[in-house]
Every structure is written in C-alpha cells, then in structure tokens.
C-alpha cells in the first residue's frame, strides 16, 4: 500500500531508491481513475519502486515546490531528488513502460 506523504516525511520517504509520488486530491475525478492503475503497478513494482500519495489540499506548499499545476501528477524521486514529473491520466501499460525505462537507467 502506498505510503502517505506529507511535508513531515517527504525527505525521509524519498531519501533512497526510486519513489513515485502521486499528487492528488479527493475532489479530482481523474485522480480517482488513476488509483486502481497505481495499485496494480505497486503490486508489480513494489519490490523495486516505493509508491507514495500526497494530497495537494493538505500540502499545497509541496505541490508548489514541485511545480504541480494540474493533477493527477506523478513525481519520480531518485535518492531524494525529484527527477521527473508526468501529469494526467495514463493507462497501466503506458506507465509500466515508463517505469521499466526508468528502472533500466537506474
């Protein structure tokens, strides 16, 4: 299960390895569409990639820091540093190919 990310634990949770953080909100219908996709990906990649969820309503400062202007947005962290961001709804297969590519360059 994805870890809940807040300003209090972001640095710790993203410090090592690859972490995919989902920036979302309760009122966001596309975010809800991404939930089952991310859950399936976590079951496949959870041993190699940590998954996190950050509610932008409760963490607006973090959303601004990472230039999240639209949600859902996925920010990929590598060893504590945000390296890429993708925004919008993506099918599972497309995100799986993206993650495979990122793991191959790890």
Question: Which residues are tagged catalytic?
Answer: 28, 31
> Residue written as tokens 């990649």?
45
Pairing mode, strands 73-78 and 81-87: antiparallel
Beta bridge partners of 4: 53
- Using only C-alpha atoms, the chain has a radius of gyration, in whole angstroms, of 12
């Amino acid at each position: 299960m994805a870890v809940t990310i807040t300003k209090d634990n972001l640095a710790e949770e993203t410090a090592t390895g690859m972490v995919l953080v989902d920036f979302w909100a309760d009122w966001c219908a596309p975010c809800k569409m991404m939930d089952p996709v991310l859950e399936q990906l976590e079951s496949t990649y959870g041993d190699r990639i940590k998954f996190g969820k950050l509610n932008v309503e409760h963490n607006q400062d973090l959303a601004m820091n990472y230039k999240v202007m639209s949600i859902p947005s996925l920010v990929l962290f590598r060893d504590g540093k945000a390296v890429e961001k993708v925004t919008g709804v993506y099918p599972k297969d497309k995100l799986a190919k993206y993650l495979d590519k990122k793991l191959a360059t790890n």
